[in-house]
Amino acid sequence: MVLDVVNTQNERVDQVQLPEGIFGGPVNPHVLHATVGMQRANRRQGTHDTKGRSEVRGGGRKPWRQKGTGRARQGSIRATQWKGGGKPFGPTPRSHAQALPRRARRVALCAALSDALQTDRLSVVDALQPAAPKTKALLGLLGGLGLKPVPTLLVVAQWSEALDRASRNIPWVRLVRPGQVSVEEVLRHRQVVCDRGAVVALQEALAP
């Protein structure tokens, strides 16, 4: 598979060879769904907590005697049926982390990249370096590439402070390294732009 490499003026300057097994494989919706669910679950902090009847303050004395009052028997005003009582079966702090085999994670990322290529959302740029560490400079560079102001994922092999500072104030741009590319982000962003070095790094990381 061959994909054009463009410069900052959106002019073709070269071509890059893309391995069929990484960028041209089948798109497996089941693996994609499982991987995105795993990534979202692993981001959860799991700090949710409620107090049971043994954790709520008070309620040590029996509210009234067991028999003879005509009312239902009660043992504590902090029982779950009382206002201000403990929460029955409430959430407690726990880990929501999930795990998938390494091969499944690799298949999912290859499927996401293949989907981006098949739907014309993936493009390769010779270099992604603005002239100055300014938002205006990066916006001009992205406009020269013909990109629209929609969710865009920029994948760069060489991290630079200028590019990082220029992208911070653009709400529809997400800047990552090749090792930070996730299945969820590739699927969520409508434009995926990689520089030449990032494509090579992805090929090396996903090689079977």
Q: Are residues 147 and 70 part of one domain?
A: no
Considering the chain, what is the average pLDDT of its residues?
A: 93
pLDDT value at residue 162 = 87
Q: Are residues 35 and 17 in the same domain?
A: yes
Beta strand pairing status for 12-17 and 2-6? Answer: antiparallel
pTM over 0.95: no
CATH number at residue 161: 3.40.1370.10
Whether the CB-CB separation of 5 and 124 falls below 8 Å is answered with yes
Lowest mean pLDDT among 54-58, 159-163, 172-176: 159-163
Query: Based on the domain organization, do 157 and 180 belong to the same domain?
Result: yes
Q: Taking phi first (over 0 means left), then psi (-120 to 50 degrees means alpha), and beta for anything else, what does residue 125 get?
A: beta
Reported as a pLDDT band with limits 50, 70 and 90, residue 93 is very high
Residue 70 has a pLDDT of: 96
Contacts 24+ apart (CB under 8 A), 29-33: 31/104, 31/107, 31/108, 31/111, 32/108, 32/111, 32/112, 32/183, 32/187
CA distance 178 to 201: 6
Structure token pair of residue 117: 């290529």
**Is 55 found in the same domain as 106?**
no
| Counted domains in the chain | 2
Residue 30 has pLDDT above 90, yes or no: yes
Q: Residue 135's pLDDT is what?
A: 94
Q: What domain range is 9 assigned to? A: 2-45+99-206
Phi then psi for residue 17, to 5 deg, are -85, 125
- Does 61 share its domain with 38? no
Average pLDDT of the segment spanning 74-86: 95
Residues 34 and 85 in one domain: no
- Give the Cα separation of 99 and 103 in Å (integer): 12
The answer on 151 and 199 residing in a single domain is yes
180-208 residue pLDDT tens: 999 999 999 999 999 999 999 999 999 87
